[in-house]
Chain A
Amino acid sequence: MNVPENDDPLVIAGRSFSSRLMIGTGKFPSAAALRKAIAASEAEIVTVALRRVDLNKPDGEGILSAIDRQKQLLLPNTSGARNADEAARLARLARASGLEPWVKLELTPEPRYLLPDPVETLRAAEMLIKDGFVVLPYIQADPVLAKRLEEAGAATVMPLGAPIGSNRGLRTRDMLRIIIEQANVPVVVDAGLGAPSHAGQAMEMGADAVLVNTALSDARDHAAMAKAFALATAAGRMAWRAGLGPERDCAEASSPLTGFLFEDR
């Protein structure tokens, strides 16, 4: 990528990242495939479901073996937790086993669509922030909840574009726009991004970062798709910074129609 480093870093809780693409690690056919996807994505934040790993045992060919802790922040997530207490226990165990005190809150009490529980997410965020954690909550695209979490001290908000794994793109676009407009913390569009163009659209809207998983693990070539997402994310960011023109219904004449009124006066 030709974007100069640190020209436009993503800053979360005082820490700078040059990539605005985060990667989820579930659903890959092997640790080797995941490792290649992470490398190609140039992601610096990689999230891992704590229920899938044992941080106190050697990982063998597991998910952890695919992460290069020198290059990537291992961001543990609480997926599978049904309430705040379960999520808090998971986060504390992860910290106790030596991980940095960062946690992506995923409170997904129903197993089919894995939609986040807003009540328990706010409660868990309040508990863990008080306990010194940097909290990145996965949420429904709910602008009021986003503000409540920001006020509670969340480091980011991570609203969904569509249900996890659905590859449907920015179905929550109108609410995402409001969240982005009102946010004082980075907004990371998480879940539902099925194509690089979806990531590009989120970034063009002014999202600070995006997170993908299924779109990469579903692809025939995981690494190539990861690279494509990285390019689209950077392109979307660049377009947002450059200032996009408004959408129009019809062509607009580039020479003014009323210019003659102001000529030869």
Chain B
Amino acid sequence: MHFLDILESWPEPRIRNLYDSVSPADVRGALSRERRDVRDLVALLSPVAIPMLEDIARESQRLTRRQFGRTISLYAPIYLSNVCAASCVYCGFSANAAGQQERVTLSAAEIELECKTLSAMGYESVLLLTGDAPAVVPPEYIADACSIARRWFASVAVEVYAMDAKEYELLCAHGLDGMTLYMETYERGVYAQMHRHGRKRDYLYRLEAVERAAAAGARRISMGVLLGLYDWRIEMIWLALHARYLERKRWQTALSVSFPRLRHTPPGFQIPHPASDMDLAQMIVALRLFLPEAGFNLSTRESAQLRDRLLPLGITSMSAGSSTRPGGYGAPECNRLAQFEIEDQRSPAEVVAMIRRAGYDPVWKDFDDAFLE
């Protein structure tokens, strides 16, 4: 069974029919069950559930604490390059994005400087990012970057273009343990419309990338949809199905889900389906009830105030003090193109203090070199 078969067995009209039939009793039923199915998730995500959001949030908090305790893992992104051949209309890195700002790909020495700077702040877990430009930023470059980062940090993950199995194996052999890849949207028509150029056009290749990475040895997989491209109530069902499929298929892989919300987009792009703060909270707590063991990540795309409030609802991992431009830690004043403007500009120390005030223990290190050959 391929995930595509499952996805195709849940076309949008089937999901909409379920949404149309949700009653308050369905929501109460979904709340009280121990393991939930897709119907339960639909009930929890539906507008009918909003009056019961507090109860869902409490259950979400209980499940999260049972699995993860009162801890929040910390990580930082390192942008290796802002060169991009894709033209995703919503993205600051898009090949078409106009502007005078510099496009760069960091040298080994520059990567080293980023690592050194973040390591001094206490980080033990990093996420290496690039645009979608395999010709300029090939897998071998990313593999070398993994090796460099591995010397500084306990855990190294990437968020880069979708790759072949062999390329993921190469990254794992260079010390990679985690892989993040957002499907952006599971809706094929919208996907085609948003991704017109580059290798990213290939929907199926991207859809199956997380599975290839897990099979190649990535221990942690982070998935998500870009919130704003399509109706999140439909996307969350497809994402949840994908996660459940991976839990069965790649039973040794730790899954986590991110909730990246489109906030600042390039000029001329209107967010077609904006998600509100309330929407974001509802999807986090509802998805937690469906995926009690998954990690939930929340980045600095969201404001400090909102992050503080979402933290106890089911979040298990946060970035802090992030820069979304290559070289942004070692040379913070550079005028290089950033992928998006960060909302929560607090320093790692300030975020750590907030996590402690909220009654959680910040976890810097949660992996060890000894796990790797």
Q: A interface vs B, CB < 8 Å?
A: 26-31, 50-54, 80-82, 85-86, 89-90, 93, 109-113, 165-167, 214, 217-218
Contacts and interface: CB of A to CB of B under 8 A. Distances in A.
Given A110-B252, A167-B66, A27 B71 contact: yes
B293 A50 contact: no
Instruction: Count chain A CB atoms within 10 A of each CB in B253, B254, B370 and give the residue with the most.
Output: B370
A28 B366 CA distance: 14
B8 interface: no
Nearest to B254: A111
A245 B219 CA distance: 50
Given A29-B70, A30-B356, 18 more contacts: A26-B69, A26-B71, A27-B71, A28-B69, A51-B366, A51-B368, A52-B363, A53-B365, A80-B368, A86-B370, A89-B371, A111-B253, A111-B254, A111-B255, A112-B247, A112-B293, A165-B67, A217-B70
A165 B71 CA distance: 14
Contacts of A81: 371
Please report whether the interface of chain B is mostly helix, strand, loop or mixed according to DSSP: loop
21 contacts: A26-B69, A27-B65, A27-B70, A28-B70, A29-B361, A51-B365, A51-B367, A54-B365, A80-B367, A80-B368, A81-B371, A85-B373, A86-B370, A86-B371, A89-B371, A93-B370, A110-B251, A111-B293, A165-B67, A214-B69, A218-B65
A80 B69 contact: no
B252 A111 contact: yes
Contact of B361 (A28, A80, A109): A28
B156 interface: no
B154 interface: yes
Contacts of B154: 51, 54
B152 interface: no
A90 B370 CA distance: 5
A26 B70 CA distance: 9
A257 to B, nearest CB: 48
Nearest to A108: B252
A50 B368 contact: yes
Contacts, number: 73
B13 interface: no
B68 interface: yes
Contacts of B359: 29
A30 B357 CA distance: 10
A225 to B, nearest CB: 14
B361 A214 contact: no
B360 interface: yes
Contact of A165 (B66, B254, B361, B363): B66
A27 B254 CA distance: 17
Please list the 6 inter-chain residue pairs (A to B) with the smallest Cβ-Cβ separation, ordered nearest first.
A27-B69, A29-B70, A111-B254, A112-B293, A89-B370, A90-B370
Given A54-B154, A82-B252, A111-B252, A27 B68 contact: yes
Contacts of B368: 50-51, 80, 90, 93
Nearest to A166: B66
Contacts of B65: 27, 218
A229 to B, nearest CB: 17
Nearest to B294: A112
B95 to A, nearest CB: 37
Nearest to A164: B67
A26 B361 CA distance: 10
A218 to B, nearest CB: 6
Contacts of B367: 51, 80
Given A29-B361, A86-B371, A109 B66 contact: no
A250 to B, nearest CB: 35
A31 B254 CA distance: 26
A85 B356 CA distance: 36
Given A50-B368, A50-B370, A110-B252, A31 B361 contact: yes
